[in-house]
Structure 1
Amino acid sequence: MHVNEVSKTEFKAKALEILRQVESSGDPIVITDKGRPAIEVRRYRADQRSPLDRLRGSVVELSQPFDPVGEDEWETLV
């Protein structure tokens, strides 16, 4: 997939046109700041999965989940 790039200045001048292009083509646009990629604009795609399905597989390791937590292991805001 080819990724188009536009500068912040060009995006500011043609924002509506660029957003319509992204919406119709589905191709993302990268907005650059001083020649470096800064922001990617892409079409929104709703995730139809349930929250539990989206989280499934996200826990990589769960070691000793029932061990007590010591007083000095808690982080607190003062």
Structure 2
Amino acid sequence: MPISKFKATCLATLERVRRTGRPLRVTRFGKPVADVVPPAPEPQARSWLGSLRGTARIEGDITRPSSELVDWDATR
């Protein structure tokens, strides 16, 4: 697209590139001066909920106390 036409229809041209996803080459005197490309998709923000899933390990018996009852009395 000649640069003069791009200048005259800039906003509509940019919207068309965004909507269609097709790049556009802008020329001056028949030589390329710029390529107008659609924006890259924005990365999805990850939620922090569940971000540590699968990072913990269960070792030993989790249903028994971690120490003996005598040790509990010693910590008072």
Bucket of the pairwise TM-score, normalised by the shorter protein = 0.5 to 0.7
Q: Give the gaps of 5 or more residues in structure 2.
A: 44-76
Runs of 4+ in 1 over 6 A off after TM superposition: none
RMSD (Å) for aligned C-alpha atoms: 1.4
Question: How far has the Cα of 1:38 moved from its partner?
Answer: 1.1
Match of residue 3, structure 2, among 8, 21, 24: 8
Q: String of CA shifts for 1:40-62, please: whole Å, max 9, x gaps.
A: 000110575xxxxxxxxxxxxxx
Using structure 2 for the length normalisation, give the TM-score.
0.52
Give yes or no for the alignment of 1:31 onto 2:41.
no
Structure 2 counterparts to residues 1-78 of structure 1, below 5 A: 6-46=1-41, 48=43
Q: 1:47 to 1:21 in 2, by over 3 A?
A: closer
Using structure 1 for the length normalisation, give the TM-score.
0.51
Q: Which has the higher strand share?
A: 1
Q: In terms of Rg, which structure is larger? A: 2
